[in-house]
Copies of this chain bind each other. A is one copy, B any other.
């Protein structure tokens, strides 16, 4: 019998060990590689995938170097035959939306039962997609809420300004930094407040964090 070839990527070793324990009981899976960064997975695929293709990469979202979102993008672009399953503890609508947009094959939260994980793996290897109900909920909620397509709600310039705002710079400072008029930055502030439906700088800052523009 031909075994399915899997890769697991997660920077929490204990979780990785746990996953390994679970999958090791299943004879049909061959864990080719475990990694704690996305980069290691990408590197492996880039070198070896043509000779011995990988069927499925199971990955976390948060990882150093190359996170799950980037890793998925990389795989879908350069190794389209390799399936991807995201297993993550964070499942905000933005992450879910980005990943589905990037054609991820499945998404299961870490608080799922192991049975569901096995079901997801099986489904994906058959060529179908698998998303946990909670992920679907988040996705739909995101679609119809004010957070709708938060990703491209803001233009590049707006994000740039928002970042500086959240970094505690004043309008004047930002204007100087970007070689723009103070009035321009003031316009951006207005637009941001209205677009993001917040009241003031506090709301803007929270959004900047949510968008990953600034560190907490």
Contact surface of A with B, Cβ cutoff 8 Å: 11-15, 17-19, 21-22, 36, 87, 89, 109-114, 117, 165-168, 170, 198-206, 209-210, 214, 216
Contacts and interface: CB of A to CB of B under 8 A. Distances in A.
Given A12-B109, A15-B110, 9 more contacts: A12-B110, A12-B111, A13-B113, A14-B22, A14-B111, A15-B15, A17-B22, A167-B202, A202-B202
Given A21-B22, A209-B216, A13 B111 contact: yes
Listed from nearest, the 8 A-B pairs whose CB atoms lie closest are A18-B18, A21-B21, A12-B110, A205-B205, A168-B199, A201-B201, A17-B114, A202-B205
A202 B201 CA distance: 6
Contacts of A168: 198-200, 202-203
Contacts of A22: 14, 17-18, 21
Contacts of A21: 18, 21-22
Contacts of A206: 166, 205, 209, 214, 216
26 contacts: A12-B89, A12-B110, A12-B111, A13-B110, A13-B111, A14-B19, A14-B22, A14-B87, A14-B110, A14-B111, A14-B112, A17-B22, A18-B19, A18-B22, A21-B22, A89-B89, A166-B206, A167-B202, A168-B199, A168-B202, A201-B201, A202-B204, A202-B205, A205-B206, A209-B209, A210-B216
Nearest to A110: B12
A112 B216 CA distance: 24
Contacts of A14: 15, 18-19, 22, 87, 110-114, 117
A136 to B, nearest CB: 18
A70 to B, nearest CB: 19
A109 B17 CA distance: 13
B112 A13 contact: yes
A115 B166 CA distance: 41
B111 A17 contact: no
A15 B60 CA distance: 13
